[in-house]
């Protein structure tokens, strides 16, 4: 990891800590950040520590993202599943395009579409 990327990681962690209202996430990110030396202040020790601990740090951050934001999973989709996602995405693009055009739907129907656009089917019913 270059110092530029390390600095960006440090910046991103600071932004995440100050911008979240989730106290548990904030606390976990602070603890995580304390384990990593500041790449801008500790240039001499950062590089060897990154080589020794970088994979572990990445895994810890990934764990926090999955735990608190449910992102960062390593999905292994089949080609069929990928095609279904593409169709789902394309259908939503068309629907949003229609909603932004001059087509007429009542305010109630438009609101219902917008409110349920990305919800799982089980939550819509």
pLDDT confidence tier of residue 125, bands split at 50, 70 and 90: low
Q: What is the pLDDT of residues 17-28, one digit of tens each?
A: 999 899 999 999
Q: Alpha helices, DSSP H only, in the chain?
A: 3-19, 23-35, 43-69, 79-100, 107-116, 121-124
pLDDT at 1 over 70: no
- Closest residue by Cα to residue 30 from 47, 15, 52, 50: 15
pTM: 0.59
Q: What is the pLDDT of residues 27-38, one digit of tens each?
A: 999 999 998 888
pLDDT confidence tier of residue 2, bands split at 50, 70 and 90: low
Q: What is the pLDDT of residues 54-100, one digit of tens each?
A: 889 888 989 999 999 888 888 899 999 999 999 989 998 998 888 88
SS3 87: helix
Q: Are 38 and 29 in contact (CB under 8 A)?
A: no
């Amino acid at each position: 990891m270059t110092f530029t990327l390390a600095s960006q990681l440090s910046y991103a962690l600071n932004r995440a800590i100050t911008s979240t209202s989730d106290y548990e996430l904030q606390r976990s990110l602070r603890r995580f950040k304390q384990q990593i030396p500041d790449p801008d202040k500790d240039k001499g020790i950062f590089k060897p520590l990154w080589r020794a601990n970088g994979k572990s740090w990445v895994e810890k951050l990934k764990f926090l993202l999955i735990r608190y934001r449910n992102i960062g999973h390593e999905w292994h989709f089949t080609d069929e599943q990928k095609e279904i996602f593409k169709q789902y995405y394309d259908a939503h693009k068309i629907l949003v395009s229609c909603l932004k055009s001059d087509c007429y739907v009542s305010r109630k129907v438009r609101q219902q579409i917008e409110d349920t656009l990305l919800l799982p089917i089980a939550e819509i019913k």
